[in-house]
């Protein structure tokens, strides 16, 4: 994605992942438990609901994540996790950027979990 290039190195604290992690972070296999954790992150500590809506159907600030239309990524589990890590500094159709991790401090597991949840909403590839 062109919009992902040229941005300054972020300050995400996870030390063991290199630059490639933004594109394909290592995440565990999707399980129901992971999806359930992701749902809690989405509607709670991850703040995702504030922009994407508590049912992920979107608001004026951020797109619907439950449909099959993807603006920034291809909708794969890895791509969703990478986007959550990096945020969207230059949104295509929305007025303000998505901060990395939605502006929250999420563990690597929470990032994977919320990606698994979003992937399972129906539009994931
Ligand atoms: C401050 C508002 C805001 C918050 C909080 C936020 N997002 Fe976003 N999100 C956006 C914007 C803006 C975009 C980019 C839309 C565009 O390109 O026009 C986006 C894009 C996305 C996309 C890609 C959608 C697509 O169509 O390609 C995913 C997936 C996503 N966000 C997931 C999340 C998750 C998961 C969280 C919680 C950890 C989260 N977002 C928190 C504003 C937000």
CATH of the domain at 75: 1.10.760.10
Domain presence at residue 28: yes
Q: Is the CB of 56 under 6 A from ligand 1?
A: no
What is the gyration radius of the CA atoms in the chain, in angstroms? 13
Question: For residue 99, with 0-12 CB atoms within 10 Å meaning exposed, 13-18 middle and 19 or more buried, which class applies?
Answer: middle
| Residue 112 Cα to chain centre, angstroms | 9
Domain presence at residue 15: no
Domain presence at residue 52: yes
Please compute the mean of the pLDDT values over residues 73-102 and round it to a whole number.
Answer: 96
Q: What is the mean pLDDT of the chain?
A: 85
- Count the neighbouring beta carbons within 10 Å of the beta carbon of residue 73: 17
DSSP percent split of the chain into helix, strand, coil, nearest 5:
40, 5, 55
Domain presence at residue 124: no
End-to-end alpha carbon distance in the chain: 17
- Residue 124: pLDDT band (50, 70, 90) is confident
Residue ranges making up the domain that contains 44: 21-119
The pair phi, psi for residue 120, each rounded to 5°, is -85, 0
Domain presence at residue 1: no
Q: Quote the ligand 1 centre to 99 CA distance (angstroms).
A: 8
Count of structural domains within the chain: 1
Ligand 1 atom with the smallest distance to the CA of 93 is 18
pTM value is 0.84
Give, for ligand 1, the residue of 47, 98, 110 to mutate: max count of ligand atoms closer than 8 Å to Cβ.
98
Domain presence at residue 16: no
| pLDDT greater at residue 122 or residue 69 | 69
Domain presence at residue 2: no
**DSSP structure class, residue 49:** H
**Given a cut of 80, is residue 95 above it in pLDDT?**
yes
Domain presence at residue 12: no
Ligand 1 atom with the smallest distance to the CA of 101 is 38
Taking the C-alpha atoms of residue 81 and residue 17, their distance in angstroms, rounded to an integer, is 13
**Given a cut of 50, is residue 17 above it in pLDDT?**
no
Angle of helix 77-86 relative to helix 108-119, nearest 10 degrees?
A: 130
- Residue 122: pLDDT band (50, 70, 90) is confident
Q: Is the CB of 94 under 6 A from ligand 1?
A: yes
**Given a cut of 80, is residue 39 above it in pLDDT?**
yes
- Residue 117: pLDDT band (50, 70, 90) is very high
Residue pLDDT, tens place only, 18-30: 333 333 458 999 9
Ligand 1 atom with the smallest distance to the CA of 115 is 35
């Amino acid at each position: 994605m062109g919009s992902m290039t040229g941005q300054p190195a972020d300050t995400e604290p996870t030390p063991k992942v290199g630059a490639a992690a933004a594109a394909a972070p290592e995440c565990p296999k999707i399980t129901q438990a992971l999806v359930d954790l992701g749902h809690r992150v989405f509607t709670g500590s991850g703040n995702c609901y504030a922009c994407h809506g508590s049912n992920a159907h979107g608001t004026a600030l951020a797109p619907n994540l439950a449909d099959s239309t993807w603006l920034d990524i291809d909708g794969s589990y890895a791509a969703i996790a990478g986007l959550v890590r990096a945020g969207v500094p230059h949104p295509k159709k929305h007025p303000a950027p998505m901060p990395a991790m939605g502006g929250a401090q999420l563990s690597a597991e929470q990032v994977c979990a919320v990606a698994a949840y979003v992937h399972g909403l129906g539009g994931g590839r």
